[in-house]
Structure 1
Amino acid sequence: MKKRILFAVLGLLIVVAVLAGVKALQIRTMVDHGKKAVLPPDTVTTVPARSDSWETSLSAVGSLTAVQGVTVAAELPAKVVKIAFVPGAKVKRGDLLIHQDTSVEEAQLPGAEAQVTLTESVLARNVEMLKDKIVSQADFDAAVAGHRQAMAQVETLRATIAKKTIRAPFGGRLGVRQVNLGQILREGDPIVTLQSLDPIFVNFALPQQELSRLRVGLPVGVTSDGLPGPAIHGRITTVNPLVDAETRNVQLQATVANPAETLRPGMFVNTAVGLPVRQKVLAIPATSVLYAPFGDSVFVVADDNVVKGGKALRQQFVRLGEKRGDFVAVTSGLKEGEVIVSTGVFKLRNGQAVVVDNRLAPPFKEAPRPENN
């Protein structure tokens, strides 16, 4: 009985050993196949690193202000009897905005004008009588003073009527109406805002280190997130002679044409001052860069040492500079003419075999204009 149990256990151990050997042989075979297996090459698009000449510019955030902008207000207290403007309309210099009640002044004006006529006649008679010494010099001087006082009274009434007839001080675009018909205005009460929009000023600041390169007449490009499309161009018209003692920045003002009135006072914009000196850069598409916390890199396409005539990737760390459109400048780590992968770098690895196919390569531009804009 004991011998049977012993033979059974021994047979079981032999079966287990045979199965373990077979499984180990299978695993070893799979490992050998895995080591010898070669992944198929991935298809990539490429572009050579090229040298380019970029315009040097200084960027800053600016604010728009009107060349002329005021809130038209009442000079004298009176009731509004006529509103002659439409809110938001464009007006010319001298256009009537509102008319205040001038009935009292208009009623007093004929009497004042009659007094002028009377004093003028008296003065004319006194001139003749003074020649014949019929009147004294004192009476003549009194007649002259009376005539001047009468004329001053007429001019005062006319000036009051003119001040209550409020007109546009310059041409521009009106804002929201702030008065109503029949409203009694006090001195200084606002009526409507008036802004001259074409041209328009752009105020911005740059560090004092750039002061030596700044001068009146340099071109300025203005863009805004709320205004899609190309930059609006103008020129620097003022360089402030005073440097801010707190920020060490110098204030600048540019004048920009605004015929479509798309730029409005109070908006913030991005400004770029174009400098006459151009810089040479090594430009690559921004999509060629694999961004990572430990360093940015690109994949250089080189000859494969394993497959004759094949291509493989070499990961190269680079240092980046200024961005412009679809391109970014490389300051170090890459040489001109080296071919790099232009798209899909996030899925690649160092040493990977690739096949180049540029038929689907996207176009890269310094000033792209996406279709959905």
Structure 2
Amino acid sequence: MQTRVEKKPSTTKRMIIMVLLVLLLIGVIVGVKATMIMQMMAGMKPPPPSVVSTAKVAYQDWQPSLGAVGTLRAVRGADLAFDIAGLVTKVNLKSGDEVKEGQVLVQMRDSEDVAQLHQLEAAAALAEVTFGRAKQQLAVQAISKADYDTAAADLKAKQAAVQQQQVNVAKKQLRAPFAGRAGIITVNPGAYINAGTAIVTVQQLDPVFVDLHLPQRNLNALRAGQNVSLSLDSYPGKHFEGKVSAISPKVDNDTRNVQIEASVPNPDRLLTPGMFANISIDVGDKQRQLTLPQTAVVYNPYGDTVYVVKHRSEMKDPPADAKGADPKPAKPAAKDAGKDKGASGSDLVVQQTFVTTGGTRGDQVAIVKGLDEGVEVVTSGQIKLKNGAPITIDNKVQPSDNPNPTPQEN
């Protein structure tokens, strides 16, 4: 009697079947998920148009200028001191006084020097009388020529002694070398002053000089007599006008900068030596430039771009974002949105355009190439945009477009 042996599937076949079943299950799950995602995407509405502000490119007159930071300096200024030591007897000014040229500011004790001066003046007067008599006697041959020469020499010696003593007396007086404003003085009568000790400063404040430095590449644009405008943090919103008075004939070997000196009228004495000032020098004639706010330009390593506002019908290729978009125009972001710029809504899209920028002036930038006058571009909200994106215009708040901005403090 033969025994029947049942054949069992091999281990390899079982593994293959198991793998196929797992793959089939994964395929079913992926298919279900893909179907759900496609249904969700089909049911999603396109994103609403981005709200942006816009401005039109327009020509403006630009005055080419060079900017720098300079230091104010008095036309005349000196720290006054005695060149001899002595005791102060009188102070003839107060701190901050306006002084005149030659005015005695501080007096030292000079009674001994004045007494000696009077003695020498008396001796000189006697020598002058003696010389006059000798001159008359020589005319009638009453004295010899040697006696006459002796009298003349004695007179000159006495007069020189008087002049020397007058200098000694003058050293005891501190005089203003020029008209100007005195600084803070702390010396009082009775104080002993050493030689060379600064007593008071005197500064001539009208006009004042401004010292600044510019790179040597700007030398060809600089001329004496060019207009200069100063602005200082101490006087926000106020500008002081002057002119270039001198240009140094030498370029600094270390910095390769050239020193410029400008003269600025200061009748109100508002400008003080030592202050820092922002300086703008007008160079060349005025130029007409296409101008935009600097916020309108998107600066990239591959080139500078702006977003130009267009209607969908003006686009060469339908934007990708337009597929499946709601044909109804979107409502403006605000009641007055786009009132100054024409229609607004989803009918408006943006086109990214490369531009070539020129110089800057405050919050503005010059457009050299890439745009025409009157073209409307986005000035804020570009971070949300891409080529062909729909937009809504709201110009209630505009970025700064000031050619001469000033710092604002809250």
Rounded to whole Å, the distance in 1 between the matches of 2:260 and 2:32 is 84
Counterpart AA for 1:322: G
1:152 is displaced (CA, Å) by 2.4
Q: Hey, what does 1:168 align to over in structure 2?
A: 176
User: What's the offset of the Cα at 1:198?
Assistant: 1.3
CA gap of 1:367–1:270, structure 2 versus 1, over 3 A, is closer
Checking the alignment, whether the CA contact within 8 Å between 1:92 and 1:168 is kept in structure 2 is yes
What are the superposed Cα offsets for residues 160-208 of structure 1, whole Å, 9 maximum, x if unpaired?
2222111111112222326443333333222112211211112223333
Q: 1:67·1:200 contact (CA, 8 Å) conserved in 2? A: yes
Give the structure 2 partner of residue 266 of structure 1.
Answer: 274
Q: 2:160 maps to what in 1?
A: 152
Contact 2:293 2:399 in 1 (8 A): no
Partner SS for 2:285: strand
* Structure-1 separation of matches of 2:228 and 2:143: 75
Structure 1 position 226, deviation (Å): 4.1
| Cα deviations by residue, 1:49-78 (Å, 9 ceiling, x for unpaired) | 223331111223322222111111112322
Q: What whole-Å deviation, never above 9, does each CA across 1:129-168 have from its counterpart, x for those lacking one?
A: 2233332222222222222222222222222222211111
Aligned pair in 2 of structure 1 residues 154, 311: CA closer, same or farther (>3 Å)?
same
Contact conserved, 2:127 with 2:151, CA < 8 A, in 1? yes
Q: Which residue number in structure 1 is paired with residue 342 of structure 2?
A: none
Change (3 A) 1:109 1:87: same
The answer as to 2:373 corresponding to 1:336 is yes
More displaced stretch, 102-111 vs 309-318: 309-318
Are residues 1:190 and 2:198 paired? yes
Structural mapping, 1:1-373, within 5 Å: 28-34=38-44, 37-177=45-185, 179-290=187-298, 296-304=304-312, 305=318, 306=322, 307=327, 310-361=347-398, 364-368=401-405
Question: Would the alpha carbon gap of residues 46 and 21 (structure 1) be closer, same or farther in structure 2, given more than 3 Å must change?
Answer: closer
Tell me, yes or no, if the aligned pair for 1:289 and 1:345 is still in contact at 8 Å. Answer: no
Match of 2:14 in 1: none
- Residue 67 of structure 2 aligns to a residue whose secondary structure is strand
* 1-structure distance, mates of 2:367, 2:216: 27
**TM-aligned CA deviation for residue 85 of structure 1:** 1.8
Counterpart Cα distance in 2 of 1:208 and 1:359? 45
Question: Conserved in 2, the CA contact under 8 Å of 1:178 and 1:190?
Answer: no
TM-align CA RMSD? 3.1
**Post-superposition shift, 1:310?**
0.8
Aligned-partner Cα distance in 1 for 2:214–2:114: 57
Shift of the alpha carbon at 1:108? 1.7
Provide the rounded CA distance (Å) in 1 between the counterparts of 2:278 and 2:408: 22
Question: Percent of aligned positions with the same letter in both sequences?
Answer: 39
Query: Do the aligned partners of residues 24 and 211 (structure 1) sit closer, same or farther apart at CA in structure 2, a change above 3 Å counting?
Result: closer
| CA–CA separation in structure 2 for the residues paired with 1:363 and 1:247 | 35
Q: Tell me the SS of whatever aligns to 2:171.
A: helix
Residue 322 of structure 1 and its aligned partner are, at CA, apart by 2.3
SS at match of 1:134: coil
TM-score (norm. length: structure 1): 0.82
* Letter paired with 1:269: A
Aligned length: 354
Give ranges in structure 1 of 5+ residues lacking alignment: 1-19
CA distance in 1, matches of 2:96, 2:201: 9
Quote how far apart the aligned CAs of 1:251 are.
2.4
- Distance (Å, rounded) in 1 between the aligned partners of 2:118 and 2:205: 43
Deviations 1:326-360 (A, max 9, x none): 31223444443321122343444443322334355
Q: Distance in 1 between matches of 2:193 and 2:404?
A: 53
Q: Could you tell me how far apart the structure 2 residues matched to 1:322 and 1:22 are?
A: 59
Q: Distance in 2 between matches of 1:27 and 1:114?
A: 122
Q: 2:199 is matched by which residue type in structure 1?
A: I
**Does the aligned pair in 2 maintain the 1:221–1:271 contact within 8 Å?**
yes
Unaligned runs of 5+ in 2: 1-29, 313-317, 330-345
The 2-side partners of 1:38 and 1:222 are apart by 54
Aligned-pair distance for 1:99? 0.4
For the residue of structure 1 that corresponds to 2:286, the secondary structure is strand
Please give the alpha-carbon distance, in whole angstroms, between the structure 1 residues aligned to 2:167 and 2:90.
19
SS in 2 for 1:85: coil
CA distance in 1, matches of 2:156, 2:70: 55
The 1:150/1:168 distance shift into structure 2, 3 A limit, reads same
What is the CA-CA distance between 1:104 and the residue it aligns to?
0.6
2 CA distance for matches of 1:141 and 1:150? 14
